[in-house]
Every structure is written in C-alpha cells, then in structure tokens.
Structure 1
Amino acid sequence: MKRVLVCVLLLIGVLGLSTQTVGITSIVEHPALDAVRDGIIDVLEENGFKDGESIVIDFQNAQGSVSTAVTIAKQFVSLNPAVMVGIATPSAQALVNASKTIPIVFSAVTDPVSASLVPSFGKNPGNVVGISDMTPVKTQLQLLKLTLPQVETIGIIYNSGEANSVTIREFAKEACDALGMRLVDITGSTTVEMVTSLNAQIKDVDAIYIGTDNTAASSIQSISKVALREKIAIVAADIDIARSGGLIGFGFNYYQIGRATGELVVQILKGASPSELETKILGQNSLILFVNTDIAEEIGIEIPQSVLDLANIVVTNGVETER
C-alpha cells in the first residue's frame, strides 16, 4: 500500500512540474476585450493546451483600475508562469514593467511603440511580442463624412490617461484637419466623468467619434443614451461599441485578434522566444463594417446606399444580418 501511495505522489509531482501556467490579464470587461480572451483560449485548446490539463490558465481582470493591473502583474510574476498575456495597453504595460525575463504577449494594444512595449513592429530583442489593433482612423472619419456630409464638428470621447486613446486622438486630429472638420475633445477617466463632459459639450458637436478607448467602451450604454436623446450619430472604431447605440462601427474582429495572439502564445509554449516572433497589426481583411439602420431612422439620417453596399453587418428592425 505504501509503494502505491509513493507512486501516486511521485506521479502527482511529475504532473505538477510539467503543467505550465499562462497568466492572462485584461484591463476591463467589455465585449471586444472578452472576445480577445476567448480567441486566445480557443487557439490554446486547439493546439493541445487545455486549461486544467496540460496548462493552467490564470485569468485576472483589473476592472478598469491601473493600480489593480499593476498588482495583478506582480502576482503573475510571483508564479513564474510560462508566459503572461496583457490584453489592452494598461495591462500590457503593467506586465512589461513587472518583468524583463518572463515571456510577455500583448494583445489589442493600439500603439505598442509609443506605449514603450516594443521598440518597433517586427522582431525585437527582449521578452515582449504581440498584436496591435491600430485602427484606420482616417477611414473611419471618411465613412462618417460620406454618411453625414454636413458634419463640421466631431466630438471625440476618450480617456486622456489611456496611452492608446491619446494616439488615436492625434490621428483623429490629423484626419479632421485633412477632411475639413473640427475636433472637440470630450474626456473623462470614468463613466460619470465622460457622461458629464458629453452633456456639457454635446450641443457643440455634429457627431461623435469613439476610438479603441476602454473607458468609453465600458461606458457606451450611458454615452449612447445621451447621443440618441440629442439625435447625434456615433461612429466607433469597434463594432461592439457600435452595437450599443452607434450608427456606424468600422474596426477589427477582436476574436480574430485573440486568435492571432493565441498563436504567439502557442509558439512560446512550444519553446519559441518572443525575440524570434514578430509584433504586427492584424491584416485589413479582419476589418468589419457595421451599420445600424434603426439608429439612422431614430436620429433622422438616411445612410447612403454606397455605405450600405460596403457593410458586413446591417441592423434593420432589431435584426443583425451578416453579408
């Protein structure tokens, strides 16, 4: 009996040693970032890395708090995981600041270079690699202008504390200047602050633009209530944001971003170094155009047929149709 018990304990010990931990952290809960997480986990499973079997996945959400993201990063480092994954800029920055040796994969980071995650796109020395969701800001604003040619002033809603959103704001300013429109900053670090700013400035704008801002994404239901009340159109860089009250959404499929991220994680689990892998932006074929004709009717806008013809997803009478 003793020999059996010893064998069982030895087997447990061996299995424990062979089980790798993957730490995944996200700055906040909202559909786009949740889709990234799901895409990562699905790719891991498809490649034989199933949670609770060959690996242990430790997922932690910072609930919008940068200080919590830092605490999570420190906790992950103490576990000495095989790889750490940071979803969105603040969580990725927290991981990179916490370790210079443990492999780190970032995902859904707009500008990883300005965020000091990597020196450049492509291959880099060090322990960090990932997938950017740098969104085509000028194209989004061109779509807005095509749909609403009378628009002269655009309000951009963002959290100035999010590095990714500051970058998007700079691109939006350049695009507005080129398109002959004026950009108005509507900022806030919380839902309450954003909605307060929006209420104070909505009379000064003809339309609203929301980039890949995590605070705005989490606040979109409150934002859209104000916009619909004032019959102001929202154009978003994320179709999941647009689904909660936007007229147009043009952006990446975040589940596909998650899958691309998962492929990097798999390669690292199989022995690759982050320095051997490439940091990149997902291809343009992953962009999706979402149009809500119900919102258009509610705020008194007729969407040009040329825009509808390009749409991948159209909402009519509450029904979402894929094309």
Structure 2
Amino acid sequence: MRRREFLFLLGGAAAVWPLRAHAQQPKRIPRLCFLTFDPGTLHSRSPRFDPFFDGLRDLGYVDGRTIAIDYLSADRQGERFPALATQCVGLNADIIAVSTTPAAQAAKNATRTIPIVMIAVGDPVGAGLVDSLAQPGGNITGLSLMVPEAAAKRLALLKEAVPGIARVLVLSYLADPIGPLQVKALRDAAASLGLTLQIRDVRTGDDLPAAFEAAAKERAEGVLTGAESLFVVYGGRVAELAGRYRLPAIYPFTAQVVEAGGLMAYDTSIADLYRRAATYVDRILKGAKPSDLPIQQPTSFQFVVNLKTAKTLGFTFPPGLLAIADQVVE
C-alpha cells in the first residue's frame, strides 16, 4: 500500500471513530427533584404521594430508566427547604415538584429558570408564589387546594355539628405561609358564626399536648386543624388527643377520619390533584412553559363523618348533617 493511500485511510478512520463513540453515548434522561415535608424516601414515602408517582409511571416515567428522581425530604423540619432547594439546583434538575408552600417558596427563591410544579399547595396567589391562577407567570404552575375557603367551610360544619359551641381550638403551623391565610379566613368566619377562636401555633408534634392542655383550661368545645403538611404528618396524634379530651374535631384530610379515627373531615380529592400534577410534569418535560399552564383548582369537595368515633365520644350528629355526608364510617 502506498504511503499516501495509507495516510488517507488512517485519517478517515480517525474521523469515523469519534462519530461512533458519540453515537454510542447513552441518551440523557430528565431529572425530577421532589421536595416534601414528610419523612421517608422514594421507596418508603407517604402513601399519599402514590397517585403522583403512579401517574408519572402511567405516563412512561420510570425512575432510573426514563427519568431520574431525587426525593428530598425535609423530615418534618420546614427550615430545611432552602438548603434542599439549593441542592435541587446543584443536581441540575430539569423540573422540581413541591408538595407544600414552604417548599415552593424555597424553590422559587433558588431558581427562576427551572420549572416548578406544585402538586397541591394551599393558596399560591395568597402566598405570593404566582401572579394569578389563570396566568401564573414565571416558572411555577400546578395545582391549588383552595385552603382558606375550605377552612372557613370546616368551621361552619363544626358549628352545625355542635350547635351550642362557643370556643374552638384552632391548631395552625404559622411558619407555613398558608397558616396565617387560614387563620384570617377563620377569624372572618368566626365573627359571623359567633365563635371565639383559640389559636395555637404548633411547630412540632411535641407542641400538641400542651396546646390541648391549654385549650382544656380555656374550656374549648371543639377542635379544627389547619391543612399544613405538619398536620398530615401528625394527624393521628391530633385525633388521639381530641379523643382523650373528648373534643369534637374536624380535619382537612379524609384519611384522618377513615384511617386515624378522627370525627369528621371536609376536603377535596387529594389523590385526583396529585394525579393531575403528574400530567403537568409530563407537559413541561415535553416543552410546555409553566407560565402558559393555568393553575388548576379542586372541582369537588367531600364531607366524611365517623360514627364509631362519635359513639366513643358520646357525640350525636344532627340528622340534617348526616344527611349531607358524602361518606359515613361505621
């Protein structure tokens, strides 16, 4: 072989080798960072998040194969969210999903470019996360729970359940921006219902016994809990203390009645919202802009009562209230 021909072939091979090497590089999969208040990991997570992750799976997103999921838990410590949000940015996340308002705020402060999906937060407009529901603007969109309005409705239902009630213990996690928004809505509703509210700021589960003890001394006659994530985590503890002090209580999550033995609850279908949030992740990963996706709200609410718990408390539901219950646990 002539020297010129050999050099030509060698040069051609050198040009082909990088192309083949490049072609063999594995395709990069998108990275989702999930921020939550609840303890656990992706594989030991709270069951309440199953509809979201099941929804992703149904859309073709499988961790480690078609998507990389970083599940970052604040482990009941809301002050950890800023560091976790910064960690998401450092991981080069393509999208961030958040399950609580403090997580959404931390993510918004950490990045103005990475899309953020709220899988169901209390009041994104009231909390200053977005400009409006129809046109969120910026890099945040997702689902809203209409929490302040629902809190006022719960107070009215508690009054209907206990017509002679005058003093209500309100458990709130005021470090969460949705806490003060609920308290304001409750104060407005209490004025028209003739109720006095005993507001107790709860920061950890250890604060709950003292809150109930103080309420008993102030002759509270009923209990209402906020819809902050802290009361999801400690819902069973609240139900236990309400039973010990024999106080009728209303909760923001049906599971606290059906599973934890609470007396009654008024909420929307959280599972439905979480499933819908998965479609937002899908649309954004396929090119949609968060600012172009209106924030969706609940389309229906449900009222659930627990007759077994009522019997334990020596409590009787008014017939008219039982008649409007969507679900009765016996």
Using the size of structure 1 for normalisation, the TM-score is: 0.88
Which structure would you say has the larger Rg? 2
Task: Give the Å deviation of 1:20.
Answer: 0.6
Q: Is the 8 A contact 1:211 1:238 kept in 2?
A: no
2: CA distance between counterparts of 1:66 and 1:150? 37
Aligned residue in 2 for 1:25: 35
2: CA distance between counterparts of 1:302 and 1:150? 13
Q: 2:208 aligned with 1:194, yes or no?
A: yes
Q: Is the 8 A contact 1:195 1:222 kept in 2?
A: no
Q: Alpha carbons of 1:275 and 1:298: their partners in 2 closer, same or farther (altered >3 Å)?
A: same
Q: 2:179 aligned with 1:169, yes or no?
A: no
1: CA distance between counterparts of 2:130 and 2:64? 32
- How many residue pairs are counted as aligned between the two chains? 306
Structure 2 gap ranges (5+) = 1-16
Q: 2:74 aligned with 1:62, yes or no?
A: yes
Q: 2:267 aligned with 1:257, yes or no?
A: no
Q: Identify the structure with the greater strand proportion.
A: 1
1: CA distance between counterparts of 2:242 and 2:50? 31
Q: Alpha carbons of 1:273 and 1:229: their partners in 2 closer, same or farther (altered >3 Å)?
A: same
Aligned residue in 2 for 1:110: 122
Q: Is the 8 A contact 2:167 2:198 kept in 1?
A: yes
After the TM superposition, which segments of 4 or more aligned residues of structure 1 sit over 6 Å from their partners? 5-9
Q: Is the 8 A contact 2:37 2:230 kept in 1?
A: no
Q: Could you say what secondary structure the match of 2:163 adopts?
A: coil
Q: Could you say what secondary structure the match of 1:208 adopts?
A: strand
Q: Is the 8 A contact 1:36 1:256 kept in 2?
A: no
Which residues in structure 2 correspond to 1:1-323 (within 5 Å)? 13-15=25-27, 17=28, 19-29=29-39, 34=46, 37-135=49-147, 136-203=150-217, 204-243=219-258, 244-284=260-300, 287-316=301-330
1: CA distance between counterparts of 2:295 and 2:100? 15
Task: Give the Å deviation of 1:154.
Answer: 0.9
2: CA distance between counterparts of 1:118 and 1:36? 25
1:128-170 CA-to-partner distances (Å, cap 9, x unmatched) read: 1121112322222222122111111111011121111111111
1: CA distance between counterparts of 2:170 and 2:21? 59
Q: State the AA in 1 paired with 2:274.
A: G
More deviation, 5-14/204-213: 5-14
CA RMSD, Structure 1 to Structure 2 (Å): 2.2
Using the size of structure 2 for normalisation, the TM-score is: 0.86
